[in-house]
Structure 1
């Protein structure tokens, strides 16, 4: 078990010495400006087996932070899905939510968890439907006793065709679970029809709601994201039109009907194949924001030869809510986003560094330029390196989530650890409060 390594001890030493890792973003005169800021990074020891990977983060109604990940079963065959919760003392003793040998384990299509207001937990993973490579379905299991016992798998979709069903957004609606996923049932038999987006609900007792079609043509294999506020759901995903433009769309809906839809931003990214690079959405106060990667070679009227990570508010009009670029010039993407209590957001992504890659975070927010004016001013803080990884698929998607009081937790898959992978986590204590562009 990976209870502690020389690397962890080294990082702890750096943190105790208050060594700060910052990376400046090159700016031009007409871009948003910022001043360098510091960020304390505290490693968190998570008890995992060798080969752990695919972390995901969620919060309970009480503000507790939960982490899920996948690891090999010790001295056995197959893999297992593990859960742990965070306290002031660190991560709790992990529990096993599910395990098996017929799983579909994928670097971009990974398990998750959600927690209802009464403490009921649901997890999801992917199970193979047939021997075909991309024939798998969604499995959900529920625990009503803090992870001691788990229900038999529940299949949220009403289709068992040997096609893809995955890239799940599993969220709590307070008294029931909401799920949205990419569904390939229309593609059965090589029909040439597109991937679809569908959703349903699952009650705490396992009762399934209606299997609903949300969009009949979307990008094949990009993760999607959702936030829930009361009965309103905000969903973001990579869309796909008939010309293979694969930009990010948003949708607001309830569990029963779609109430509004739109395009986050017209990037115009044309791709014949799926880029496997999905968006993220988060909320801070009343403001919703979206972060995403685009591979177009020109972004916001400036060259972007390696693409760009952008962030934008969804709460203001199209004229005033202009995206801002967040990356440091060589982004891989694989973004995540979380909102802080002060109206700002933390963006997390993977950035190339030489032949390797780094997990980075940057704080962003926006304010009106003056009372009564429609235009806004972006506030951008320094970017910070929180971990090392590789640019390949084994590094997966880093995750970030607010843990309250201005703090956040980041989790990612580190590669090259004893020839394999390992889940790493850090805590980012309360972020710098100073407005970086106020001076």
Structure 2
């Protein structure tokens, strides 16, 4: 088995239509709109990074990590209320966390019940850490912290978590699990796998299931809840080192055999650290992802009208020096908003565009210019009412903070 590591950047059969659309016409600089990006005062102090956005019933939640010093960090969040961020609240502090630009903590809410997670070191090995949950029900005064998600007890890598509201007050959680890798590094002999479970409002973990026994080792997971049930998408890994995006779906209480959503055929011997993003409304599903077959980087988007059983042909979003780091909002069965990053010289830009299922795209919008290093992490995007909100890590002279802004839907 070849070792799997972080790349410089950053056995399945496709069902349904898979003829790729022609390349979209390039968006010229004269078409790019900048003035409609509205800055929003951030609630975050300097020394913070790793933002995560979540759309709640009454607004949005923003979570992040603030490093107090070299050995102590705190996980915080703020709520968007009446168009402004509330005063931050600390969820938990820790001195033995795994803090990484690509594998970051998240937060979710379901009917006033809050669930979040951090990654806690389980040994001195670099990639040896556990997922620890933090829960605050709508009747709790304080957070219940350091609750287990997995109980395998191995000193291996567990992370890249996706959490979503599920049923009345529970959560659906999926993650990459290294219990079979045999060690706390990326030079291991075993395979990374992906698992899922349900977390009840009391912290009980139910219905844990192995979804795929062999996956890419360090790309973000994503999931969505369709009318048929949850779907999970991730970067798979075949014996031939093909690392395309796969989907598995829960239908009638059972999980389907994973399949590629499109046959990119990206053969790469290391993990590209670039996962997909999915969003669903009823049984309408959209997925955005990054690929770089033949060293030609691209961001693509596909739509499905049947909960991911079949997909339309991919739409090319960007091949202009893109580095991926995508996000996605599904507006309706015909339209989605995609964000991604592109390099421009020694810097990078966060861009966003509205895309129709027909392949028609709006003019690209530059959300922000920022550094192209890993320290800038993965920009976040979410929809609240008639505004699309963004959060990203801004690094100046090695000092990081988090900036936020919004764009009116009508400006796309």
Q: Please say whether Structure 1 and Structure 2 have the same fold, judged by a TM-score greater than 0.5.
A: yes
Secondary structure, counterpart of 1:382 in structure 2: coil
Q: CA RMSD in A?
A: 2.5
User: 1:98-117 residue pairs with structure 2 within 5 A?
Assistant: 98-117=92-111
Whole-Å separation in 1 of the counterparts to 2:114 and 2:122: 25
Cα distance change of structure 1 residues 209 and 234 upon mapping to structure 2, 3 Å threshold: same
Q: Which residue of 2 aligns with 1:360?
A: 351
Matched, 1:69 2:69: no
Q: Which residue of 2 aligns with 1:412?
A: 392
Whole-Å separation in 2 of the counterparts to 1:423 and 1:147: 29
Secondary structure, counterpart of 1:347 in structure 2: strand
Post-superposition CA distance 1:103-135 (Å, at most 9, x none): 000100000011112x01011110000111110
User: 1:366-377 residue pairs with structure 2 within 5 A?
Assistant: 366=357, 377=358
Secondary structure, counterpart of 1:381 in structure 2: coil
Secondary structure, counterpart of 1:187 in structure 2: coil
Q: Which residue of 1 aligns with 2:304?
A: 314
| Structure 1: unaligned runs, 5 residues or longer | 1-28, 298-304, 367-376, 434-439
Structure 1 position 421, deviation (Å): 1.1
Matched, 1:45 2:41: yes
Whole-Å separation in 2 of the counterparts to 1:180 and 1:320: 22
Q: Which has the higher contact order (CA 8 A, sep 6+)?
A: 2
Whole-Å separation in 2 of the counterparts to 1:342 and 1:87: 28
**Structure possessing the higher radius of gyration over alpha carbons:** 1
For 1:131, which of 117, 121, 124 is the aligned residue?
Answer: 124
Contact 2:63 2:107 in 1 (8 A): yes
User: 1:243-282 residue pairs with structure 2 within 5 A?
Assistant: 243-253=240-250, 257-259=254-256, 261-282=258-279
Q: Which residue of 2 aligns with 1:429?
A: 408
Structure 1 position 63, deviation (Å): 4.5
Post-superposition CA distance 1:317-366 (Å, at most 9, x none): 99971111112510011111112258411111111011111111111111
Whole-Å separation in 2 of the counterparts to 1:413 and 1:147: 31
Whole-Å separation in 2 of the counterparts to 1:147 and 1:350: 39
Q: Which residue of 1 aligns with 2:230?
A: 233
Q: TM-score, normalised by structure 1?
A: 0.81
Whole-Å separation in 2 of the counterparts to 1:131 and 1:197: 24
Post-superposition CA distance 1:243-298 (Å, at most 9, x none): 0000000111169531464211100000111110100101256521110000113x
| Structure 2: unaligned runs, 5 residues or longer | 1-20
Cα distance change of structure 1 residues 212 and 313 upon mapping to structure 2, 3 Å threshold: same
Whole-Å separation in 2 of the counterparts to 1:242 and 1:275: 17
Cα distance change of structure 1 residues 30 and 154 upon mapping to structure 2, 3 Å threshold: closer
Cα distance change of structure 1 residues 178 and 218 upon mapping to structure 2, 3 Å threshold: same
Structure 1 position 230, deviation (Å): 5.8
Whole-Å separation in 2 of the counterparts to 1:167 and 1:282: 17
Matched, 1:201 2:208: no
Q: Which residue of 2 aligns with 1:143?
A: 136
Q: Which sits farther off after the overlay, 183-192 or 351-360?
A: 183-192
Contact 1:306 1:329 in 2 (8 A): no
Moved >3 Å (runs of 4+): 29-39, 145-148, 316-320
Secondary structure, counterpart of 1:235 in structure 2: strand
Post-superposition CA distance 1:119-165 (Å, at most 9, x none): 01011110000111110000001112588510031111121211100
Contact 2:33 2:364 in 1 (8 A): no
Structure 1 position 402, deviation (Å): 1.2
User: 1:278-289 residue pairs with structure 2 within 5 A?
Assistant: 278-284=275-281, 286-289=283-286
For 1:161, which of 144, 154, 163 is the aligned residue?
Answer: 154
Contact 1:284 1:343 in 2 (8 A): no
Cα distance change of structure 1 residues 234 and 76 upon mapping to structure 2, 3 Å threshold: same
Q: Which residue of 2 aligns with 1:120?
A: 113
Cα distance change of structure 1 residues 341 and 319 upon mapping to structure 2, 3 Å threshold: closer
Whole-Å separation in 1 of the counterparts to 2:81 and 2:176: 34
Cα distance change of structure 1 residues 253 and 175 upon mapping to structure 2, 3 Å threshold: same
Matched, 1:348 2:345: no
Secondary structure, counterpart of 1:326 in structure 2: strand
Whole-Å separation in 2 of the counterparts to 1:131 and 1:256: 39
Cα distance change of structure 1 residues 380 and 201 upon mapping to structure 2, 3 Å threshold: same
For 2:165, which of 164, 172, 182 is the aligned residue?
Answer: 172
Matched, 1:295 2:292: yes
Cα distance change of structure 1 residues 76 and 167 upon mapping to structure 2, 3 Å threshold: closer
Q: TM-score, normalised by structure 2?
A: 0.86
Whole-Å separation in 2 of the counterparts to 1:255 and 1:134: 36
Whole-Å separation in 2 of the counterparts to 1:147 and 1:411: 28
Cα distance change of structure 1 residues 66 and 245 upon mapping to structure 2, 3 Å threshold: same
